[in-house]
Amino acid sequence: MFTIGDFARYGRVSARMLRHYDAIGLLPPDRTDPATGYRFYGAAQLARLNRIIALKDLGFTLQQVQAVLDEQVGPEELRGMLRLRQVELEAAMAAAATRLAQVEARLRSIESEGHMPTDEVVIKSVPAVLVAELTGTAASYQPQDITPVIGPLYDRLFPLLEAAGIRPTGPGIARYEDAPAGEEGAITVHAGVTVSAPTGPVGDTGVTVVELPAFEAATIVHRGSMDGVLTTEQTLARWLDTNGYRSLGYTREINLECPEDKDKWVTELQEPVARA
């Protein structure tokens, strides 16, 4: 079972949205603690969440979404509806490209339901590492909010390190945290790369070298653009739920291969975990 915060992270939605879905009966939690009121969700509920978001992106109201789901629309019909929306988005303004990528990611998750491989998940000890990083804030953990923040951070990071005479010694490492209190749903984004340099600020560049501590991680390799990482993340979520682990925080992204063609990227996802 997942807390509402963890379930929101795996579904790439906000906890506030999940509370609203519960209030209108669209996606009630599997269990609500009668003493505390805390909501708990199961991994199987990701399937319904994927359909809700996909249908919303097609322009359905929440009342219409509930009616469609209650009629048990099959995956073939839903796939056809999503493909139609894809064609419409491709003909729209360039600004809709990010939204299209998320529709495609939801579609891949729905198509993969029931036969997601989970044997590629590995539990391992991740050693401490020195990372030079720039930090920014995204409005939410949704990819359309993360991408416009993390891309420019990396574009700035490498020239600043070169000017400071610091050379990367390993892969890029992207990590995430909840933003400080008062910024509900906002995410602190750290765009970094492995280095061998003293900890602390790098001059007045805004770059900081930090030592990330060692931790126990559930890891899985994602191949392709990060726009399609949703399916891989949810594979990892199902594995954790099945094998008795709980998440201790946001997934760390290790950039193993980053050619110009994003469809050829290789990224290891490292989720800090403990036994449930």
**109-163 pLDDT, tens per residue?**
676 665 555 558 999 999 999 999 999 999 999 888 898 999 999 999 999 999 9
- Which pair of structure tokens corresponds to residue 134? 């720039």
Q: What is the pLDDT of residues 212-227, one digit of tens each?
A: 999 999 999 998 888 8
DSSP-based three-state secondary structure for 84 = helix
Q: Which long-range contacts (CB under 8 A, 24 or more apart) does 68-75 make?
A: 69/26, 75/110, 75/111, 75/113
Residue 262 sits at φ, ψ, to 5 deg, of -65, -25
How far is the C-alpha of 249 from the C-alpha of 166, rounded, in Å? 29
| Least confident interval from 7-11, 72-76, 127-131, 197-201 | 72-76
How far is the C-alpha of 256 from the C-alpha of 266, rounded, in Å? 5
CB contact at 8 A, 192 and 131: yes
- Which pair of structure tokens corresponds to residue 259? 């050619």
- Which pair of structure tokens corresponds to residue 213? 């501590």
Angle formed by the axes of helices 97-111 and 45-57, to 10°? 140
